[in-house]
């Protein structure tokens, strides 16, 4: 199924593929546990008002709704991806499972790459944002809450320099070597 595929140019190679940090999945897990526990509490207090079959049906329906809410968040995390190739930077964002927006910037237009951490928790778990600014239409590719933003920043800078044939950061950081 071609819905989730990205079309690459001839001779284009993926240098880096990044998703958001795993910590972003804590909220869907917490949401599932909270909504599920509300279903258990509701079944405990109001279960005697219903027939056993109807009570179980309501409980299972409640769990399926809780699971669906969390599964939707997981799919958004999994399908939203940032890709750096030897020719361009691509940001694929899904608002729903079948609704996506793809933003890309050729490496020749990249003007500025910055990274930032978002606070104490961000520093503790080593995640943050990487922002790539381009010339022309002021396209901004924002890598949100990605792991090891400093290493991603260095790798994007290295790839852009190689694209312009300027040796910079000859040695890949260890994180980049492991993920490619």
Phi, psi torsion values for 172, nearest 5 degrees: -70, 145
How many helices (DSSP H) and strands (DSSP E) are in the chain? 5, 7
pLDDT of res. 4: 61
Distance between CA atoms of residues 22 and 33, nearest Å: 17
pLDDT at 38: 81
pLDDT: which is higher, 46 or 30: 30
What is the predicted pLDDT for the residue at 53? 76
- Tokens representing residue 110 in the block: 């990249």
Q: CA-CA distance, 48 to 45, in Å (whole number)?
A: 7
Residues 128, 115 contacting (CB under 8 angstroms):
yes
What's the number of domains the chain is made of? 2
Instruction: With respect to residue 7, please indicate whether it lies within any of the assigned structural domains.
Output: no
The verdict on 60 and 95 lying in the same domain is no
Q: How far apart are CA 91 and CA 88, in angstroms?
A: 10
pTM: 0.76
Are 55 and 96 members of one domain? no
**What residues contact 136, with CB distance under 8 A and at least 6 apart?**
109
Residues of the domain holding 153: 14-19+82-179
What's the mean pLDDT in 6-24? 89
Are residue 95 and residue 135 in the same domain, yes or no?
yes
67 and 88 share one domain: no
* Contact present, 133 and 156 (Cβ < 8 Å): no
Task: State whether 88 and 170 are in the same domain.
Answer: yes
N- to C-terminal Cα distance for the chain?
25
- Give the pLDDT confidence score for residue 125 in this predicted structure: 94
- What confidence category does residue 1 fall into, taking pLDDT thresholds of 50, 70 and 90? very low
Q: Which of 18, 12, 8, 58 is nearest to 38 (CA)?
A: 58
Give per-residue pLDDT as tens, 59-108. Answer: 788 888 888 888 888 888 998 999 999 999 999 998 877 888 888 889 98
- From 167, 164, 14, select the one nearest 84 (Cα to Cα): 14
For residue range 137-160, list pLDDT tens digits in order.
667 899 999 999 999 999 999 999
Query: Does pLDDT of 169 surpass 60?
Result: no
Please tell me which residue, 125 or 37, carries the higher pLDDT value: 125
Residue 4 lies inside a defined structural domain of this protein: no
Q: pLDDT higher for 60 or 176?
A: 60
- Residue 124's pLDDT is 93
């Amino acid at each position: 199924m071609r819905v989730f595929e990205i079309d690459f140019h001839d001779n284009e190679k993926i240098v880096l593929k990044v998703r958001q940090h795993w910590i972003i999945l804590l909220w869907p897990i917490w949401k599932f546990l909270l909504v599920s526990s509300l279903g258990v509490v509701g079944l405990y207090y109001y279960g005697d008002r219903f027939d056993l079959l109807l009570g179980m049906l309501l409980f299972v329906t409640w769990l399926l709704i809780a699971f669906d809410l969390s599964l939707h968040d997981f799919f958004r995390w999994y399908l939203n991806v940032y890709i750096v190739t030897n020719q361009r930077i691509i940001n694929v964002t899904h608002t729903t499972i079948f609704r996506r927006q793809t933003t890309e910037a050729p490496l020749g237009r990249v003007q500025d790459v910055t990274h930032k951490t978002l606070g104490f928790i961000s520093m503790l778990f080593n995640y943050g944002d990487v922002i790539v600014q381009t010339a022309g239409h002021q396209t901004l590719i924002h890598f949100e809450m990605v792991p090891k933003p400093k290493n991603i920043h260095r790798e994007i800078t290295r790839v852009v320099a190689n694209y312009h044939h300027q040796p910079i950061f000859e040695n890949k950081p260890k994180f980049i070597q492991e993920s490619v």
